Structures are given as structure tokens and as C-alpha cells.
Amino acid sequence: MAKDIEVQGEHGGGEYSAKDYTDPPPAPLIDAEELTKWSLYRAAIAEFIATMLFLYVTVLTVIGYKHQSDPGASGADAACGGVGILGIAWAFGGMIFILVYCTAGISGGHINPAVTFGLFLARKVSLVRALLYMVAQCLGAICGVGLVKGFQKAYYVRYGGGANELSAGYSKGTGLAAEIIGTFVLVYTVFAATDPKRSARDSHVPVLAPLPIGFAVFMVHLATIPITGTGINPARSFGAAVIYNKDKAWDDQWMFWVGPFIGAAIAAAYHQYVLRASGAKAMGSFRSNA
């Protein structure tokens, strides 16, 4: 079990803390030297490929479900109804589990600009790396949805291209709140699953970090598919909007960026300054030095 141990000095004049885990040092805000390292570009390529595969499989699942459940479609089995919302949620959560598992050791397995943004705010990645990741993720998403359209153009256009849009009957405020809360759940899970303190404390429990992250995506999709189709990933929403290119998808696009970024920022602040008490530790260190 990981634990902080405070030991009183011989004459009560001091304390020190012993712990069996190590927090990595904060990433530099701007690390220009990273641009000269192949490891950065290799990580960006991994993010590109992972996001492309993520969009390819998940958007195909969405379109396949809509085709199978369309009673007017030729050859569609209306009685079956396709994989349903549960199947779509499993496709998104399962792909995140697979891809995070595959890329975590190379790029950290972000596959989502909101996750990258939250980790940047927590000083886990530099600004240079964060920006390059976001560009790679968005390009990968565009390519992934482009592959879907290339293979199934007729179905793609007919069934909405897997684009995220606010559903009828919901206000923009409700859609934005759904994206904020959903992304908070995801990014909070990312921080908790990758926390070095948790890794040390729960070292006897063989649980892979990608597993709870995938389950977080799965659960959020179950809750918010009826509201926004579930974005919680700006690259996913942007890639689908670029290829589908319809007014409704673009009109609602803002909430699939603003909501996830707000949710990621709240999750980063909550984990770093409340659960890990980084602010209190910094203040205590400042007072001790004074």
C-alpha cells in the first residue's frame, strides 16, 4: 500500500515525508528542443493512426446501425434493429480501450484533444507536444471518416455521416452541459487511472489503465447519445463535420469544442488541486521556505 509517512524530528523541530511513489517533474511550458527529437514525431504519428482507426470503426458502426434499423432500407432487418445504442457505446469504449492500450507506451494514448488539453493544463505535456498532438488527432479523424465515406458513400450521406448534432427537443445549454460533464468524467478517469500514487498503492491489483478509460467512454455514450450523439472528443466531432459538411453539423460544432475543453479543464483542476492538493503543497512549501 502506498502511503505518505510523516516523521517528527528528534526535538520536534521538523517533519519529512517518505513515499513509495514518484511524481514526474512538470513538463516545460514550451520545449523547443522536442522539435528536434524523433520521439515527438513518432508519438504524433501514433496519435494520427489511432484517431483514424477510432473514427473509421466507430462511424462505420453508427452508419451500420442506422441502416440496419431503417425500415425503409432495402434488405434491412427492421426486427433486428442493428446493434442499438448499447452497441454503439461499446464500439466507442472498446476502441478507446484497444487504442489506448496500443499507443500508451508511445504517445500516452490521448486520441482526443480534450484529453491532451487537460494533461497540458496539469503540466503533463508541453505546449509544443500538445499542439502537435491536436493537429495529428484532427487530421487522423478527417482521414478516418474519409475512409468511411469512400467505402460506403451512399449509406454515409443517407445516414448523416456519423456527425455530432444537437438532437431535436434539447436546448443548446443542455447540449453544452452534456459535453462538459461527459468530458469531465472521461478526463477525470484518465487522471485517476494514470496517477503514479494510485499505481503504487494498487500495484497488487492487475488493472490496466486503458480499461477504466474505455469504460468511461462507454458509460458517457450511454448517457449522452440521445442528446448530442456524444462528442467529448473535438477531433471526432470535427472530422465528421469536415467530411459530412452540412450546415447543422457546423452550426453545432462550437459546443463540441467548448464543452470538452471546459470539462477537461475542470477535471484537471479537480484532480490536481483538490484530490492531489498540489496547490496546498505548493503553498506549504512556500511558507516553509519563508
State what percent of residues in the chain have pLDDT above 70: 81
Q: What is the pLDDT of residue 32?
A: 78
Cell triple for 183: 468530458
Contacts of 198 (CB under 8 A, 6+ apart): 2, 192
C-alpha span between 8 and 29 (Å, rounded): 36
Give the pLDDT confidence of 170-179 residue by residue, as tens digits.
999 999 999 9
Give the DSSP H/E element, type plus range, for residue 18: strand 15-18
C-alpha span between 216 and 151 (Å, rounded): 30
Determine the 3-state secondary structure of 17 from DSSP: strand
All structural domains of the chain, each given as residue ranges with its CATH number in brackets, are: 5-289 (1.20.1080.10)
Give the pLDDT confidence of 229-274 residue by residue, as tens digits.
999 999 999 999 999 999 999 999 999 999 999 999 999 999 999 9
Cell triple for 126: 508541453
Q: What is the pLDDT of residue 190?
A: 95
Q: What is the pLDDT of residue 28?
A: 78
Determine the 3-state secondary structure of 6 from DSSP: strand
pLDDT of 56 over the 90 cut? yes
42 backbone dihedrals φ, ψ, rounded to 5°: -65, -40
Q: How many helices (H) and strands (E) does the chain have?
A: 12, 2
Which residues pair with residue 219 across a beta bridge? none
Highest mean pLDDT among 17-31, 71-85, 135-149, 267-281: 135-149
Q: What is the pLDDT of residue 83?
A: 80
Residue 121: which pLDDT band, with cuts at 50, 70 and 90?
very high
Q: Rounded to 5 degrees, what angle do the CA atoms 170, 172, 173 make?
A: 100
The whole-number average pLDDT for the span 117-134 is 95
